[in-house]
Amino acid sequence: MAVLPGGGVGPPERKLQMDLNLTGRVAVVTGGGSGIGEAACMALAEAGAAVAVVDIRPEPARAVAEKVTAVGGRAIALTADVADEEAVSAAITQAATTLGGLHVVFANAGINGMQTPIDEMTLDEWHATVETNLTGTFLTVKHSIPHLRAAGGGSIVTTASVNGNTLFSLPGYAAYSTSKAGVVAFTKMAALELARWEIRVNAILPGAINTNIGERTYRRNLDRVDYGFQPPAKWPPLRGKPAQASEVGDLVVFLASNASSYMTGAELLLDAAYTLWRG
């Protein structure tokens, strides 16, 4: 018991417990071959999880899996386009079968796609972004549910964005922002629906992160939708620079672990107050 000033006795002392240990758990990470996905694979492995690195590109997936095994972790590389239901189902089943179940899912795969005025965007460009970012999240979650139920529950983490949720002023981002707003809505629906099976579902909303997603970003005629104003600063007031992908990976570990066992349906901003600063 804690001794209070004056000699009184208070309630038992309680030490802070932060259980981030994922030993014995299996995680699937889509878009795991680079950027946030790669950082999450490494962080999950360091916490003890076996990791299935899923990416549309075989070589980057293999390279990340090899990095995990090089530091003593367990990992396999799987190739799948998250917009292809058959490929997603096969990858998740293979991950669960090979690694021994499924407990953590990071539905992270996404693209910026084409940034262009709405009246110039083609239907194919719209579909490419929405099908990867939103439909891909749906398919990843859908085909993970039976495995998570079989494990007695688990954690699903989705990658949304500040765009479409707290920020709406980037020119040409209509398709991307719409897809990421949909991810948050889907996350909340899934959180309530899956709670009966002890499956938690939470969304991360990153701001500026140092990744290579710009390599697969395309722009056309954005000067037509220049809003004519600039934010007070390019980068957020906290530290004044983008976050590292590893900082998102650390948040994924927290959401995957028992430390966040009472959290579901949450949307967690990771933008160093940039959208507050931008207004």
Catalytically annotated residue among 173, 176, 218, 227 = 176
262 annotated active-site? no
Encode the chain in three state secondary structure. Answer: CCECCCCCECCCCCCCCCCCCCCCCEEEEECCCCHHHHHHHHHHHHCCCEEEEEECCHHHHHHHHHHHHHCCCCEEEEECCCCCHHHHHHHHHHHHHHHCCCCEEEECCCCCEEECCHHHCCHHHHHHHHHHHHHHHHHHHHHHHHHHHHCCCEEEEEECCCECCCECCCCCCHHHHHHHHHHHHHHHHHHHHHHHHCEEEEEEEECCEECCHHHHEEECCHHHHCCCCCCCCCCCCCCCCCEEHHHHHHHHHHHHCHHHCCCCCCEEEECCCHHHHHC
List residues with catalytic annotation. Answer: 176
